[in-house]
Structure 1
Amino acid sequence: MMKPHIKEILIGLVIGLVANVAGIYLYIYFFSEHSLETTLQAAVEEGFLGSLIALGAILNLLAFFVFIKKKQLYRARGVLLATLIAALAIVISKFF
C-alpha cells in the first residue's frame, strides 16, 4: 500500500506536468500563427523548445500557490517536482 504523502506528491506531480503541457498548448494557441504540430516541429528544429517549456511552466506557479493556500503542502511539493523536471527538460533541449 502506498503511503498517503507519496500519493499526494504524485497527484501534485501529475497536476504540475498537465499544467505545463496545458501552458505550452495555450501559448501556441494564442500566440502562434501555425498549428500545434508545426510550431513544435519548428521549436525543435530552431532550438526554442526550451523557451516553450519555460513559458508552459508558468501555469505551475498558479497550481503551486493554490496548493499552498489550501495547505496541501505535499501536492505543492509534487508541482515543484514537475517544475524541476521541466527545468531538466530545458537544460537537455539546450545542450543536446
Structure 2
Amino acid sequence: MKGRFNNTWLGVILGLVVPVITIFVAWKIRFDHLDVSEFFSTMMARKMMSAIISLCAIPNLLVFLIFIWLNNLLSARGVLLSTFIAGFIMIIIKFLL
C-alpha cells in the first residue's frame, strides 16, 4: 500500500484541496447567508483573506502527519510543498492586494 499512495503529486493535490474544503466548510457554517462571491469580496474588503488562507492551511498539518505516520514520505513532501505555495499566495495577497 505504501507504493500506491507514496506520490508527491498526491500530496500536492491533497495539500491544495484540503484548504479549499476548509474554506467552503467555514463559509457554510459561519457565512451561509452570503453568496460565495459576496463572501470573498467581503473578506477582501476587510483585508482578512490572508488570515483565512493562513488558517485554512492548518488542516494540511493533519494530512502531513497522517502521511508521515503511514511512512509515505513523498506524499508528505507534496503536502509541504503545497503549504509553501499557499504561504506564498498569502504573502502576495497580504502585501500586493
TM-score (norm 1): 0.85
Hey, what does 1:52 align to over in structure 2? 52
Write out per-residue CA displacement over residues 54-79 of structure 1, whole angstroms, 9 at most, x where no aligned residue: 12112211111110111001100100
Number of residue equivalences: 91
| % same residue | 32
What is the letter of the counterpart of residue 66 of structure 1? I
Runs of 4+ in 1 over 3 A off after TM superposition: none
Could you tell me which runs of 5 or more consecutive residues in structure 2 were left unpaired when the two chains were aligned: none
Hey, what does 1:43 align to over in structure 2? 43
Superposed CA RMSD = 1.6
Matches within 5 A, 1:1-96: 8-32=7-31, 33-96=33-96
What is the letter of the counterpart of residue 89 of structure 1? I
What is the letter of the counterpart of residue 21 of structure 1? V
Give the C-alpha shift of residue 52 in structure 1.
Answer: 1.2
Moved more, 49-58 or 24-33: 24-33
Does the 8 Å CA contact 1:27/1:56 hold for their aligned counterparts?
no
Q: State how far apart, in whole Å, the 2-side matches of 1:27 and 1:54 are.
A: 13
Q: State how far apart, in whole Å, the 1-side matches of 2:54 and 2:62 are.
A: 14
Could you tell me which runs of 5 or more consecutive residues in structure 1 were left unpaired when the two chains were aligned: none
Q: Which protein has greater RCO, CA pairs closer than 8 Å, 6+ apart?
A: 2
Give the C-alpha shift of residue 84 in structure 1.
Answer: 0.5
Does the 8 Å CA contact 1:24/1:55 hold for their aligned counterparts?
no
